[in-house]
């Protein structure tokens, strides 16, 4: 296991150096303002690619760090043989092969403290937010006065297509040109400029109906507002320009002010510093385990079997078929039992509490996501769902009733980031429980195979024919897909709910701090994908739980006493030096006795006989 801890330290250092390098680069590239560093400013299409790539990298690093932390917590919660002997003498059972909260409460305080430190320091690393805004280099009036104003002509179709956007990033001010010179229409307060009444809606106001889009001037008056259910966006998709015929003044063409896109990718330096501190604490904890943890933990099933085969535990003698339920606290741990072969489901390998916590968390999260989805769909204006792309800002899909800050205040940004990352923390908790159930099922699979195939023990420190791997209890063919699944869910959540910072500029090119907002946006498509993948994950563990183990051994789960009872060798064999170093098979070793005995043996054994007593 020390080699595994070493790789965990390397993983932590890679994550720490990555975050430190990014923080240093962000600070040198742009001087942070109010804790916010602009790491990119330019085309919105490029900023979106950078943001999406950053989220993928962040999720990969977070998943690796979570896996490394879980490995170290597993080692800390693994009991030594001395711990087991002490607890068995008190008729107290410990868990073998699991990252066990129950074990931590029964072991030394320093291990418990370090276990909690590693768990609490596993926070998500999602820090980067994207905000898009048009930012003219000079004011409108100044450009007009200097004769520097650059306007591009657009016909009516191009005008509508160009300004049929939620947020303008390439085009700013717009001039509508009409050939109508009717003086009665044009005359308004002695002005030669046409005056018209347009609906003006402040989309940053959480009390305003989200169907009132900022480009509602493109639609006829009865298309939006006045109790009409359809949003302007739904009209524009099939607009044929016939609406203008019924209006007083027809628009012939447009002149648009084109500006350079200045979408930004930003990082919150305060949260970066917090993550650096937490990751540093995690690495220090891992190094402490590597350098100062002198116990020899029984981290995997093979460690426990090797220990009990080499040195029997007298407390559990005479109960080789004892199930976990037999070894209750302060109960009778000895007694012969009849062998009754039966096929047990994988689900039986995990305790009821493990299943309740795992499935309870899974279905609560999925149910909560479905409830949010149904609520959100009910509020979605007609035609807007198609614009709800992954991680895309849309004024119809913002949580301004939940969190909204004006301008660029650090407190509003932190609040929005915490809201966006709360689901990430929930998924991390679900992963720990989900991983625990998988570990229990696969450990019992390894256990059951010793009744049918002579196999060397898989231990932390191999000798002789024993073998070892970098993993703990979950084989790579299950562990890699599991980590990929969890990483995918983390990424989908980052696309389902995300930080939104919108900077609003006046016609003069001055930022309007009151209308600039910081909030969280969400994507219904990404939320649906998250629900589907989460449902597949929950369904997968249930379906695997329905698989059956081959009959031949008592299902002992992770129960230290039940494992110990099944490992008592026949008289004298435990004195045979090297028995645990050779391939072992579990079965009936005293076939001629009235009361049989089953154990691990390097010699020939037979399958237990039905309804025969064994002790």
pLDDT tens profile 542-559: 999 999 999 989 999 999
Q: Do 467 and 537 share a domain, yes or no?
A: yes
Distances (CA, A) of 558 to 305, 373, 441, 505: 12, 39, 10, 62
Please enumerate, as own/partner, the contacts of 352-356 that have beta carbons within 8 Å and a separation of 24 or more: 354/433, 354/436, 354/437, 354/440, 355/437
Asked if the model's pLDDT at residue 280 lies above 90, the reply is yes
591 found inside a domain? yes
Distances (CA, A) of 543 to 179, 345, 378, 546: 71, 10, 33, 5
- Write out the two tokens for 556: 């002992």
537 found inside a domain? yes
Asked if the model's pLDDT at residue 191 lies above 60, the reply is no
Q: What pLDDT is recorded for position 330?
A: 65
Distance CA 57, CA 62 (A): 9
Q: How many domains does the chain have?
A: 4
Distances (CA, A) of 600 to 295, 531, 566, 589: 25, 45, 8, 9
Q: What pLDDT is recorded for position 433?
A: 92
Q: Do 290 and 336 share a domain, yes or no?
A: no
Q: Do 404 and 359 share a domain, yes or no?
A: yes
Whether residue 262 contacts residue 133, with contact meaning beta carbons closer than 8 Å, is answered with: yes
Mean pLDDT of the chain, nearest integer: 79
Q: What pLDDT is recorded for position 63?
A: 84
431 found inside a domain? yes
Rounded average pLDDT over 577-586: 86
- Cα of 523 vs its chain's centroid, Å: 16
Measured in degrees and rounded to the nearest 5, phi and psi for residue 98 equal -120, 155
In terms of pLDDT, which residue wins out, 416 or 403?
416
Residue 40 is inside which H or E element, if any?
A: strand 36-42
Asked if the model's pLDDT at residue 35 lies above 80, the reply is no
Q: What pLDDT is recorded for position 244?
A: 41
In terms of pLDDT, which residue wins out, 207 or 445?
445
Task: Pick the last residue of a domain from 492, 516, 549.
Answer: 549
Q: CB-based contacts of 298: which residues, under 8 Å, 6+ apart?
A: 78, 79, 80, 81, 84, 96, 304, 307
Whether residue 179 contacts residue 252, with contact meaning beta carbons closer than 8 Å, is answered with: yes
3-state class of 337 per DSSP? strand
First-last CA distance in the chain: 34
pLDDT tens figures, 294-313: 888 999 999 999 999 999 99
Asked if the model's pLDDT at residue 166 lies above 90, the reply is no
449 found inside a domain? no
Q: Do 320 and 362 share a domain, yes or no?
A: no
Q: What pLDDT is recorded for position 309?
A: 92
Q: Do 295 and 306 share a domain, yes or no?
A: no
Distances (CA, A) of 571 to 335, 564, 565, 574, 596: 18, 16, 14, 7, 13
Q: Do 59 and 116 share a domain, yes or no?
A: yes
Q: Do 203 and 85 share a domain, yes or no?
A: no
Q: What is the pTM of this model?
A: 0.79
Beta-carbon neighbour count of residue 333 at 10 Å?
22
Residue 551 is inside which H or E element, if any?
A: none
CA atoms within 13 A of residue 177's CA, in its CB half-sphere: 12
Asked if the model's pLDDT at residue 507 lies above 70, the reply is no
- CA 138, 144, 146, 148 dihedral sign is positive
Whether residue 269 contacts residue 36, with contact meaning beta carbons closer than 8 Å, is answered with: yes
pLDDT tens figures, 110-158: 888 999 988 888 765 555 444 444 444 455 556 665 556 778 898 888 8
15 found inside a domain? yes
Distances (CA, A) of 75 to 215, 350, 429, 609: 59, 20, 18, 38
Task: Provide the pairing of β-strand 585-588 with 263-268.
Answer: unpaired
Task: Pick the last residue of a domain from 259, 291, 316.
Answer: 259
385 band by pLDDT with thresholds 50, 70 and 90: low
Q: Do 145 and 228 share a domain, yes or no?
A: yes
Distance CA 220, CA 215 (A): 11
Asked if the model's pLDDT at residue 232 lies above 80, the reply is no
Asked if the model's pLDDT at residue 211 lies above 90, the reply is no
In terms of pLDDT, which residue wins out, 165 or 102?
102
- Write out the two tokens for 555: 């299902």
Percentage of the chain with pLDDT > 90? 29
Q: What pLDDT is recorded for position 293?
A: 84
Q: Do 166 and 208 share a domain, yes or no?
A: yes
116 found inside a domain? yes
Query: Which domain covers residue 556, as residue numbers?
Result: 301-341+552-615
Asked if the model's pLDDT at residue 423 lies above 60, the reply is yes
Percentage of the chain with pLDDT > 70? 78
- Cα of 173 vs its chain's centroid, Å: 42
Q: Do 422 and 542 share a domain, yes or no?
A: yes
Neighbour-count burial of 499, counting CB atoms closer than 10 A to its CB (0-12 exposed, 13-18 middle, 19+ buried): buried
Measured in degrees and rounded to the nearest 5, phi and psi for residue 601 equal -150, 150
Q: What pLDDT is recorded for position 381?
A: 63
Asked if the model's pLDDT at residue 225 lies above 50, the reply is no
Asked if the model's pLDDT at residue 23 lies above 50, the reply is yes
Residue 85 is inside which H or E element, if any?
A: helix 81-89
123 found inside a domain? yes
Q: Do 432 and 489 share a domain, yes or no?
A: yes
Distance CA 100, CA 230 (A): 55
444 found inside a domain? no
CA atoms within 13 A of residue 278's CA, in its CB half-sphere: 21
DSSP 417: H
Measured in degrees and rounded to the nearest 5, phi and psi for residue 320 equal -65, -20
Rounded average pLDDT over 573-587: 76
Rounded average pLDDT over 572-594: 76
Q: Smallest Cα–Cα separation from 580: which of 456, 401, 453?
A: 456
Task: Pick the last residue of a domain from 549, 575, 596.
Answer: 549
pLDDT tens figures, 317-371: 988 998 898 887 667 788 888 888 888 999 999 999 999 999 999 999 999 999 9
Give 356-386 as a 3 state SS string: HHHHHHHHHHHHHHHHHHHHHHHHCCCCCHH
Q: Provide the β-strand partners of residue 129.
A: 266
Q: Do 154 and 105 share a domain, yes or no?
A: no
534 band by pLDDT with thresholds 50, 70 and 90: very high
Q: What pLDDT is recorded for position 372?
A: 86
516 band by pLDDT with thresholds 50, 70 and 90: confident
Q: What pLDDT is recorded for position 139?
A: 59
- Write out the two tokens for 86: 């002490």
């Amino acid at each position: 296991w020390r080699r595994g801890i070493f790789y965990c330290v390397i993983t932590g250092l890679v994550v720490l150096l990555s975050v430190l390098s990014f923080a240093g680069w962000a600070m040198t590239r742009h001087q942070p303002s109010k804790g916010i560093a602009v790491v990119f400013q330019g085309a919105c299409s490029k900023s979106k690619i950078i943001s999406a790539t950053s989220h993928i990298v962040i999720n990969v690093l977070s998943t690796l760090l979570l896996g490394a932390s879980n490995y170290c917590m597993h080692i800390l919660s693994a009991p030594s043989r001395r711990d087991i002997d002490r607890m068995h003498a008190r008729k107290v059972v410990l868990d073998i092969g699991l990252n066990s909260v129950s074990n931590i409460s029964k072991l030394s305080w320093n291990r418990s403290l370090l276990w909690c430190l590693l768990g609490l320091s596993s926070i998500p690393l999602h820090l980067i937010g994207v905000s898009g805004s048009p930012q003219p280099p000079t004011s409108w009036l100044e450009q007009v006065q200097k004769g520097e104003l650059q306007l591009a002509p657009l016909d009516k179709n191009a005008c509508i297509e160009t300004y049929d956007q939620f947020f303008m990033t390439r085009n700013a001010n717009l001039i509508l040109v009409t050939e109508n010179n009717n003086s009665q229409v044009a005359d308004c307060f002695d002005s030669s400029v046409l005056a018209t009444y347009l609906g003006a809606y402040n989309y940053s106001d959480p009390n305003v109906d989200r169907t009132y889009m900022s480009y509602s001037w493109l639609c006829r008056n009865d298309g939006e507002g006045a109790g009409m259910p359809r949003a302007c966006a739904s009209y524009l998709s099939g607009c044929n320009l016939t609406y203008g015929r019924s209006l007083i003044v027809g628009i012939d063409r447009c002149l648009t002010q084109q500006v350079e896109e200045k979408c930004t990718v930003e990082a919150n330096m305060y949260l970066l510093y917090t993550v650096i501190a937490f990751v540093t604490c995690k690495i220090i904890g891992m190094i402490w385990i590597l350098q100062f943890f002198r116990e020899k933990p029984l981290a995997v099933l093979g460690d426990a079997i090797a220990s009990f085969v080499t040195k029997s535990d007298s407390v559990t003698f005479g109960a080789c078929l004892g199930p976990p339920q037999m070894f209750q606290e302060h109960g009778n741990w000895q007694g012969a039992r009849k062998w009754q072969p039966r096929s047990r489901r994988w689900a039986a390998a995990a305790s009821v509490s493990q299943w309740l916590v795992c499935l309870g968390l899974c279905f609560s999260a999925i149910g909560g996501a479905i409830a949010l989805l149904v609520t959100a769909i009910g509020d979605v204006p007609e035609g807007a769902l198609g614009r709800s792309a992954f991680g895309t800002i849309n004024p119809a899909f913002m949580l301004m009733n939940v969190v909204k800050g004006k301008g660029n205040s650090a407190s509003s940004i932190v609040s929005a980031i915490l809201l966006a990352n709360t689901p990430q923390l929930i998924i991390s908790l679900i992963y720990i429980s989900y991983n625990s159930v998988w570990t229990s099922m696969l450990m019992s699979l390894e256990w059951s195979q010793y009744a049918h195939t002579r196999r060397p023990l898989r231990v932390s420190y191999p000798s002789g024919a024993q073998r070892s791997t970098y993993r703990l209890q979950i084989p790579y063919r299950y562990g890699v897909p599991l980590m990929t699944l969890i990483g995918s869910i983390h990424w989908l959540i980052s696309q389902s709910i995300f930080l939104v910072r919108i900077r609003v500029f006046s016609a003069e090119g001055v930022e309007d701090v009151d209308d600039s907002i910081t909030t969280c946006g969400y994507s219904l498509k990404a939320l649906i994908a998250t629900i589907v993948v989460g449902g597949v994950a929950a369904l997968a563990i249930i379906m695997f739980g329905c698989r059956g183990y081959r009959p031949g051994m008592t299902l002992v789960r992770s129960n230290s006493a039940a494992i110990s009872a099944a490992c008592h060798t026949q008289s004298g064999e435990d004195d045979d030096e090297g028995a645990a170093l050779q391939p072992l098979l579990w079965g009936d070793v005293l076939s001629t006795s009235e009361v049989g005995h089953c154990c691990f043996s390097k010699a020939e054994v037979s399958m237990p006989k039905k309804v025969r007593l064994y002790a």
